[in-house]
Chains A and B, each alone.
Chain A
Amino acid sequence: AQSVAQPEDQVNVAEGNPLTVKCTYSVSGNPYLFWYVQYPNRGLQFLLKYITGDNLVKGSYGFEAEFNKSQTSFHLKKPSALVSDSALYFCAVRGLSDYKLSFGAGTTVTVRA
């Protein structure tokens, strides 16, 4: 069975500082990894994904994520956070033969001005 862990319920950073949201996964075979963001009272919005190739994946709104196979991690990063990045972030994984996404519990990011 596949699973995702987001060890931090909340992350608080000051505007302009780097932002990191942690994610570790468990899956049989090669992982297919995704990050989504949910703004208040909205649906999930796709940010980026890792399929294969370069371990550093760049996505929307200046976000990037680094795939680390040995640590089974896929942390989301942004070099300089904005107040508008305050939202709920979900990491998700699929295995090779899966069509369902398995989600982590989510991490609430608050960026203070």
Chain B
Amino acid sequence: GAGVSQSPSNKVTEKGKDVELRCDPISGHTALYWYRQSLGQGLEFLIYFQGNSAPDKSGLPSDRFSAERTGGSVSTLTIQRTQQEDSAVYLCASSTPGTGPGDTIYFGEGSWLTVV
């Protein structure tokens, strides 16, 4: 597709369950980001992948959160033992490094997670 694709678009899960969120970046984009958007917290950086380099995981809020990127393309964000405070929109984004910090980052529609 033309844009960043995320699935599922909506997920309701019970507290304590694990969830996986998937992101398919724009074709050819080597940089991939995960952000979280929650009420009162704004947009929080979670993790960044760039090519074959080690990811920047500095934004992951706890060890219940992990992410991987296979083959330099699709990424999966996993939340283990979900808590109610994990309820948020998880946004994936991608960009193609070229001009450096001026590169535009393009976002997907988000995965809306509700933990009940």
Binding site for B on A (CB under 8 A): 32, 34, 36, 41-46, 49, 51-52, 90, 94-106
Contact = CB atoms under 8 A, between A and B. Distances in A.
A45 B105 CA distance: 10
A100 B45 contact: yes
B23 to A, nearest CB: 11
A15 B112 CA distance: 31
B104 interface: yes
A43 B99 CA distance: 24
B91 A44 contact: yes
A52 B20 CA distance: 39
Q: Which 3 A-B pairs have the closest CB atoms?
A: A51-B102, A44-B107, A103-B43
Interface residues of B, number: 24
B101 A36 contact: no
B25 interface: no
Contact of A42 (B31, B43, B106, B109): B109
Interface of B: 4, 6, 31, 33, 42-43, 45, 48, 50, 56, 91, 93, 99-102, 104-110, 112
A96 B91 CA distance: 24
22 contacts: A34-B104, A43-B108, A44-B91, A44-B93, A44-B107, A45-B107, A46-B104, A46-B107, A49-B104, A94-B101, A95-B101, A96-B100, A96-B101, A97-B101, A99-B31, A99-B101, A100-B45, A100-B48, A101-B45, A101-B105, A103-B43, A106-B43
Nearest to B40: A105
Contacts of A98: 101
Contacts of A96: 100-101
Nearest to B44: A103
A85 B13 CA distance: 34
Contact of A100 (B33, B108, B109): B33
Contacts of B45: 100-102
A44 to B, nearest CB: 4
A6 B87 CA distance: 25
A90 B93 CA distance: 15
Best-buried of A43, A45, A102, A106 by chain B (most CB within 10 Å): A43
